[in-house]
Amino acid sequence: MSDLFVELTAPNGRKYSQPRGLFINNEFVKSKSGETITSINPSDESEIASVYAAGPEDVDDAVAAARKAFKDPSWRDMDSTARGELLYRFAELIEKNKEVLATIETWDNGKPYSVSLNDDLTEVTGTIKYYAGWANKIHGQVIETSPAKLAYTIREPVGVCGQIIPWNFPLAMAAWKLGPALCTGNTVVLKAAEQTPLSILYLGTLVKEAGFPPGVINLLNGEGRKAGAALAQHLGVDKIAFTGSTATGKEIMKMAAVNMKNITLETGGKSPLLVFDDADLDQAVKWAHIGIMYNQGQVCTATSRILVQDGLYDKFVAAFKEHVSKASVVGDPFKDDSFQGPQVTKTQFDRVLSYIESGKSEGATLVAGGEAYKNVGGKGFFVSPTIFTDVKDNMRIYREEVFGPFVVISSFKTEDEAIERANDTTYGLGAAVFTQNISKAHRLARLIEAGMVWINSSNDSDNRIPFGGVKQSGIGRELGEAGLEAYTNKKVVPPTCSRELYLAVAN
């Protein structure tokens, strides 16, 4: 076998062939420079494999392949029902290979295997199937402008779409972007996060097996500052979709402006979770735990600021601390009882620990965690679930996104105070409200400045529902029917006059 593939055995004993190359034009190829990046197992800090890293020249090749495929009749003129069937076949292949994909995701990323298999892969296949169903239901409209005239609109694909995905949900974020782009007839150059490239490369083998024409889907590895930047500013790319940090999103906006690309950005968050005195305490505690500790806290919509009304504050803190101690089992992500695995990289591990020190130095009260977790073989990037109380609004740990198993809890007195403090942030991705007064919940949901407000739950999303934020949490929406808007242009064919009507008007 060529050095474009390597035979690997994962910690759970599963053997498979891992692609190492860049997936361009339905083939795995080496990078022009020969440069590689190494994927690290965050559970024990060992090397898994090295893969080829794209540079600007490789991005050029991928974009050229995507442009050629976009113009080729085999894709451009494909019947929309056939396109939907192709996407459905892709989803079925993902389902067939879900154990391998889940294994790679856990090995490369550190999330529990149960999450990779039951949550992430279910979301991947569900999202691709959802958009497969949309493929033959995208249409324009006829607009009557007078009794003698009519116009019509056509929904056309945008063109070549650059897509840059994050490391926290590699396969799921790829599905969120591939689904709507492909069902509307676009072609794609997708760059995986440099920290977690392996599952996306394996996906390339299924792209070819599903029967997509060459160049329709191209998958690149590479550093953001090289491959990502080259993709964002490429003149041959018509659209950029990005999920990641707000700081990087701002840079991508600047680079995409070179040819005024269509952009979709889903960036950072510091989402509030409001618990009122009349809330169901058990439910509030359960969902607050899921809202921040799921996926090692590495969730853009994590409800990482918990605001609890005075009358329930002490009871909530005690119950939440106890629930976290029992539910957040930290351990080997391949073990069935592990709820929390390691942070994805040493950089992220160090970042979380630095915020712990910041919280201590600023005077917040540490009630749980606050240290590296060393009971998983002594290695790996594990952090104990961390809870700070008595947190003030001006503290860094209250205002800045930590992206780890790290939550701050503060009290409030009135509804007005809760809303004012919930909105006192540069972010606006998600929020949650806990109260048994549903009228109050819906009223408050309108007042909170966020793209999504959950009522008596947290991070309870669905691929049929639009996802996105306001303020510095992003631009545009993904998922649901709304996710199609970003991948189509509306062309207008105005009223056409008959010769008789033209002469009548002219005279």
Question: Which active-site residues does the annotation give?
Answer: 266
**What does residue 422 show for φ and ψ, rounded to 5 degrees?**
-60, -40
Amino acid found at 363: G
Phi-psi label, residue 27: left if phi above 0, alpha if psi -120 to 50, beta otherwise: beta
> What are the Cα distances from residue 391, in Å, to 398, 408, 411, 423, 462?
7, 6, 9, 16, 32
Distance from CA of residue 94 to its chain's centroid? Answer: 18
HEC profile for 306-366? Answer: EEEEHHHHHHHHHHHHHHHHHHCCECCCCCCCCCECCCCCHHHHHHHHHHHHHHHHCCCEE
Q: Cα–Cα–Cα angle for 326, 330, 333, nearest 5°?
A: 130
At 38, list the tokens.
């190494």
Q: Give yes or no for a contact between 295 and 260, defined as CB atoms under 8 angstroms apart.
A: no
Buried b (16+ CB within 10 A) or exposed e, 350-384: ebbbebbebbeeeebeebbbbebbeebeeebbbbb
**What does residue 146 show for φ and ψ, rounded to 5 degrees?**
-165, 170
Neighbours of 329 (CB within 10 A): 13
Amino acid found at 97: N
- Taking each helix axis as running N to C, give the angle between helix 415-423 and helix 438-447, from 0 to 180 degrees, rounded to the nearest 10: 40
Amino acid found at 236: G
Which is nearest to 78 in space by CA: 230, 163, 187? Answer: 187
164/183 Cα distance (integer angstroms): 18
